[in-house]
Chain A
Amino acid sequence: MNKRIGNFSRRDFLKAVGALSAGLAANPLLHSNIRAFAQDIAAQPPITILINDSPWFPGFAAMVELYTESTGNEINLDVTPFPGMLDKTRNAVQAGESEYDAVAITEQNIPFFYNSGLLRPIADIDADFTLDDHIISYGDAARWDSDLGVNGPMGTILGVPINGNIQLYYYRRDLFEANGIEPPKTFDEMEAIAEQLGRPPRLFGNANRVNPIWWEFGAYVDSYDAEYVRLEDDGSWSVGFERPQGLEAVNRWLRLGRDWAPQNYADLGQGDLLALMASGRLAQVHMVGAAAPNYDNPDISVVGGSMGATVVPGVTAEARSPRTGMWVMCHPDNLPSERAAAGLEFVKWLTTKDNQLAYAKAGAIPVRQDTYEELATDPVVGWWASAFAESTPFLHPETRLPETPLIRDSVSTRMAQAYVNEISAEDAVALMASEIRAIMEDAGYTVA
């Protein structure tokens, strides 16, 4: 592996390889499968991948190492912190020739890059390419329907999912069992549990991420049937905050985020929630699925072995709507064909079932439903892999339009203001409704 591994330390790498090796050693069949598959891969030119530095990166790095070992094909990694990914990707795809053969793009930037025309359609790299049916769709995240300007089942494939991050509901299994509590399926049950278990300041009943708000809050509005925007059957768009359920979703979110939370509820980011849960000071939390392996890490968590996870609750059990926050691997259009083909070859290898199993055991988040189902009984990762598998039918990705960033900004700003009573919940809903309507109308959409 090339030395351009950014701030991924040698120790992290060894840990990841160690975990992967242990997984492989325990499963000789899996090992032989990888070897067997690897033998089918032809020699490829060295490639460079832009990848983000995140909790699941060690798993990705371990697979890169395994790919190189198995095939002899060299991969260089440019490991970049999340905030730098957008600019590096944007610069690469606009250059005369991209320095990267493959770029990881987070779901929230999909509309910008898919709509820009700066990515190579996968069919132009490999005319026979098809997405494996077992790869979870994540709201057609791989495809872009340029006629509608949104992800759609008839769209062109521009990327392949490589990280299946979604939202999960985490809870302290030990406390739940001791108190005879079943994991909740509805927001009402969540509130009852927060009330029953909360003993501040030693144990808080619940807390929400505020910094930023739009992602987790999306699961609430979607569950209340008040999506930020929705394409209706007649081809027009509707604004969820113009429906009465919009205010109900806001009030529910504010109540669950404030009433049983630490006093600094207005300043909680993802790291704060992880710290509260890992230090045993939070009874339940709704947060990113990729956090799961952290709770089993004894270096940073005292709740290893005591955690449970399931589908994020909803207004009813049937209306549960966890959001997705996944990543796709894409290939810039400004690449020679052989480099794009070499990049795609690695992505195809990575997303096979056997390699996805190894990927999960090395600490990454797979993208295949059959992988999750097989991992659901695993003694180490089964507690969260089963929650991923269980969540798939309920997944409700954000409507990804070129205007989505503006909508997110309106939601984050107004909800943050409501959170600290700068404005009332009613005013926040009214402002979000009018701002989102204006964004859509200004962009030329027909809004019902």
Chain B
Amino acid sequence: MAHLTMKSKNDWRSRLFGAGSFKLWALLPLLVVLVIFTLLPILQLVQMSVSELEFVDGELVSEFVGLGQLDNLAKDPIAGIALKNTLVFVVAVVIIETVTGFCLAVAISRTKTLAVLYRSVVIIPLLIPPVAIGTMWSLMYDYNYGLFTTILIEMGVQYPPLWTADPDLALISVIIVDVWHWTSFMFLIMLAGIESIPPPLLEAARVDGATELRAIRHVILPMMAPTILVAMLLRTILAFKVFDQIFVLTSGGPGTATQVISMHIYKVFSEQFRLGYAAFLSLMVAAFMFIFVAFYLWASRVVRRRLG
């Protein structure tokens, strides 16, 4: 027994200090950076989420409340609405942008003439800051002076839609703006995926008599599945955190029609000054996202297994 313990200690020492230990030590700076810039802020967030924080006499006073924030969550009339709106928003934009991005990528990858121009035009929305996009669309949606209403009235429409002022239409209006903004992101990833498919595979399919649709169905889609899943995963994470566009477009209204979770956290933190509860909500969102990511990874594995 004593012999075994001695051996294990020697193994441990030789791994840390022996030949070939450099690869372990080389990771140390990364580990330090990770702890300082990732782990410590998360630990700070966890600590805040179980506390009530307040500035008193120039000092930040923290009182431990444990799971007391759950009471605040139960009393919060907006958190549930915001979460529901966020889920509807995420599901809608991810599906629409994936399908649109894929179709655009297939179409443009087949184009020989003006391909560079098409690619440049499609990615323009991605280059515009979200606040500018929100302002631009807000002006176009404006019921009294906006472009859309003016065109519809000129076309003889007597009651043009109220866009962001109609509680039944406001979330759809916001989704349209997001699709306009982010489809180019999906397009870029999809295009890279399509262009990485070896050309002989597609040529072989065509030699075998496959139509364009069949080639997409039986060659491009299966080959692209991992890329599509990664793109959807990234887009889901980003869409869950949507804030600036909605802040400028509707500020969460009318009523609570476009209230999303990031905006609610912002209000709790910056307008209500409830630092602890805002941290708690942030952790809840992070947990929700973690479940989403786990689901995507599981789905990704299943798809890969089925595709062999």
Contacts and interface: CB of A to CB of B under 8 A. Distances in A.
Contacts of B273: 112, 402, 405
A422 interface: yes
Interface stretch (B119-127, B161-169, B207-215): B161-169
A417 B255 CA distance: 4
A172 to B, nearest CB: 17
B139 to A, nearest CB: 10
A264 B58 contact: no
A406 B270 CA distance: 11
Given A405-B272, A409-B272, A281 B144 contact: yes
Interface residues of A, number: 38
B254 interface: yes
Contacts of A281: 144
Contacts of B77: 413, 431, 435
A262 B143 CA distance: 8
A405 B145 contact: no
B78 A405 contact: no
Contact of A409 (B60, B170, B251, B271): B271
A150 to B, nearest CB: 16
B167 A405 contact: no
Interface string A6-37: 00000000000000000000000000000000
Contact of B55 (A87, A115, A263, A419): A115
Interface string B253-275: 11111000000000100111110
Contacts of B250: 267
Chain B interface category by residue count: 20 to 34
A430 interface: no
A381 interface: no
B159 to A, nearest CB: 8
Contacts of B163: 264
A210 B56 contact: no
Contacts of A212: 251
B165 A419 contact: no
B154 interface: no
Q: Rank and list the top 10 A-B pairs by shortest CB-CB distance, nearest first.
A: A264-B165, A267-B165, A264-B143, A116-B55, A266-B254, A117-B57, A117-B58, A420-B255, A422-B255, A420-B167
Interface of B: 55-60, 75, 77-78, 142-145, 162-167, 170, 250-251, 253-257, 267, 270-274
Interface of A: 86-87, 94, 112, 115-118, 210-212, 262-267, 269, 272, 275-276, 279, 281, 333, 402, 405-406, 408-409, 413, 416-417, 419-420, 422, 431, 435, 438
Given A211-B253, A420-B254, 10 more contacts: A86-B270, A115-B55, A117-B59, A118-B55, A211-B251, A266-B166, A266-B167, A405-B273, A420-B167, A420-B253
